[in-house]
Amino acid sequence: MHPVDESRPIGRILLFGIQHVLVMAATPISAIFLMSATLRLDASLTVDLLSAAFLLSGVGSLIQSLGPWKFGPRLPFVMLPGGAPLILFLAIAEQHGLPTASGAVIITAAFYFVVLPVFSRLLRFFPALVIGTMIVIVGVNLVKVGALLVTGRPGQPGFADTTNLLLGLATIGFTIAFYWLFTGVLRQLAVMLGLIAGTALAFALGSVDAGRAAEGGLLSVPQFLPFGSPEFNLLAALPLMLYSLASMAEATGQTVINAEAVGKDIDKRADVPKTIRGDALTSLFGGFFGLPLMVTSGENIGIVRVTGVRSRYVTAAAGVVLIAIGFLAPVTRAISVVPSAVVGGTAMVVFAVITVLGIQMLGRADVDQHTNTFICAVAIALGLLPILIPGVYGGFAPGLRILLESGVAVGAFVAAVLNILFHHVRPRLTRKPAPADAGAPAPTPHS
C-alpha cells in the first residue's frame, strides 16, 4: 500500500488534520471578512457566510481526499475560497448585485464541466507566462483590498484611523516575529499566530466587541441562498468564466506538485480532471450558499512536505474538523468579532504571497527574452489600470465596463492574446517557405 493510502490511529490523524486546518484557516476568514467589509454585510450574514465557508471547505477537502467516483484525485488536498475568484465575485456583486454574483459562480461551476473535455487543447494557450502575469495582478489587487480593511476607503469617515493602522501594522509585525522566532510547523503557523496576537492586542485596546460571541445558540446551519434566488447573467459571469480556464491550469500544476510531494505516480490525463471536477462540484454547492469559487489550497502541500505525513486520510480528517467548525455557532461568532484591521493586516501578508508566487512563475517563463518581457509588461499595465485608477472606464457601456474593470480578466486576456500572436501566429507568418526544388536529386549531366 502506498503511504498516501495508509490510515493511522484516529487520534494521530485528527491531530495532524487540525494542523492542516490551522494553516489554512486564515484564508476563509480573510475571504469572508473581505466580502463583509466590501459589500457592507451585517454581522449575522457574515457569521452565516463564515459558517458556510468552513462547511464547504470541509466538504471539498473530503471530495478531493477520498475521491468518490470521478471526483477528487485521492491526494491530500484541502479546499478553501479562492483569492482571485473572490475579487471577481466582489466586482460582479458591486456592479450587478449579490444574486447575480451567486449566479455567476453557479454558471462558472457548470462551465468547468462543459469545457473540461477540451481543456487539454486550450492549456497550451495558458503557459507560465500568461498564468504568472495573471497571478501577479491578482496579488496586487488582493493586497490593495486587504489594505483597505486596515485604512478604510478614502473620503469616508474613519479613513486612516490611527488605532486601525496600529492594529494592522502590529499584526504584520507579530507575524514577522513569529516567523523569525520559530522553525518547522510553528513557522508555518506564523500567519495564524499573528492573527491571534493582533486580536489580543485589539482586545486590550478595547477594539473587540466580545459580547456578540456569547449571543445565540450552540449550533447553526449555514443559510441556503442567503442573497435570494440567483440571477443568471452570462455577460456578468464572463470574467469569472475566463478565470476558470486559468484556474484549471493551476489545478493541473497543484495536482502534479501534490503527487510529487507524496511520491505517487499519477496519470495526468486521468487524475487532473478529477481535481478539476472536485473544484467544480464544491464551487457549485458553494454558489448556493453565497460563496465565491472554491479552490484547492497550495499551503497544505507545504505541510505535507515539512511533516512527511502523506496520508490522504489526514486531510480527510481536516475536512471533518472544518465541517464541525461550520456547525458550531460559538466558534464562527468568536471568529466574526475579530476587528477588520487585524484581518486586513493578515490578509496583506497572505495575499502578498500570491504576488510572489506569480513572480516565481514568471521566473520560469523566460522573461529575460524581450518578447516575453513585452507581453508581460503590456498585460500588467492594462490589468493594473482599473485597479490603480478605479472608475477609469466609467463612461463605457455597463456590459463592457464590467469586463474592463476586472483587471484580472483583462490582464489574463491580454497576456493570452499577445502570447498567441507572438508565439503562435507570428512564427508561422515569418517562416520562410522551403524552395520548391529543395531536396530534389541533382540532374544527371548529359553525355
- What is the rounded distance in angstroms from the CA atom of residue 255 to the CA atom of residue 274? 10
Predicted confidence (pLDDT) per residue in 332-360, tens digit: 777 767 888 888 888 788 778 778 877 88
Q: Which residue has the cell 502578498?
A: 352
Highest mean pLDDT among 5-9, 49-53, 83-87: 49-53
- Only one residue has cell 466582489, namely 90
d(CA 45, CA 11): 35
81-110: per-residue pLDDT in tens? Answer: 877 788 889 989 988 999 999 999 999 999
CA trace torsion 290, 292, 295, 298 (10° rounding): -110
User: 123 versus 248: which is more confidently predicted?
Assistant: 248
Longest dimension (CA), the chain: 110
Grid cell locating 355: 504576488
Per-residue model confidence (pLDDT) at position 330: 82
Question: What is the rounded distance in angstroms from the CA atom of residue 78 to the CA atom of residue 319?
Answer: 7
List, for residues 268-317, the tens digit of each pLDDT value. Answer: 778 989 999 999 999 999 999 999 999 887 666 666 765 667 889 999 99
Please tell me the distance from the alpha carbon of residue 145 to that of residue 342, in angstroms, as a whole number.
13
The confidence score (pLDDT) of residue 109 equals 96
Q: How confident is the model at residue 436 (pLDDT cuts 50, 70, 90)?
A: low
Please enumerate, as own/partner, the contacts of 324-328 that have beta carbons within 8 Å and a separation of 24 or more: 324/58, 325/21, 325/54, 325/58, 326/51, 326/52, 326/53, 326/54, 326/55, 326/56, 326/58, 326/222, 327/51, 327/55, 327/219, 327/220, 327/221, 328/218, 328/219, 328/220
Most confident of 8-12, 55-59, 130-134, 425-429: 55-59
pLDDT digits (tens, 9 = 90+) for 238-259: 888 877 877 787 787 778 778 8
Grid cell at residue 417: 492574446
Q: pTM surpassing 0.75? A: no
For residues 13 and 314, is the Cβ–Cβ distance under 8 A? yes
Mean pLDDT of 363-370: 85
- % the chain with pLDDT above 90: 33
Non-local (6+) Cβ contacts of 338 within 8 A are 29, 33, 195, 199, 202, 208
Is residue 48 within 8 A of residue 333, CB to CB? The reply is: no
Q: What pLDDT shows up at residue 411?
A: 86
Range of lowest pLDDT (114-123, 312-321, 414-423)? 114-123
Of the given ranges (81-85, 173-177, 443-447), which has the lowest mean pLDDT?
Answer: 443-447
**205: alpha, beta or left? (left if phi > 0; alpha if psi -120 to 50):** alpha
How many Cβ atoms are within 10 Å of 17's Cβ, its own excluded? 25
Name the helix (H) or strand (E) containing 15. helix 10-24
**Which three cell numbers mark 445?**
549531366
User: pLDDT at position 120, please?
Assistant: 67
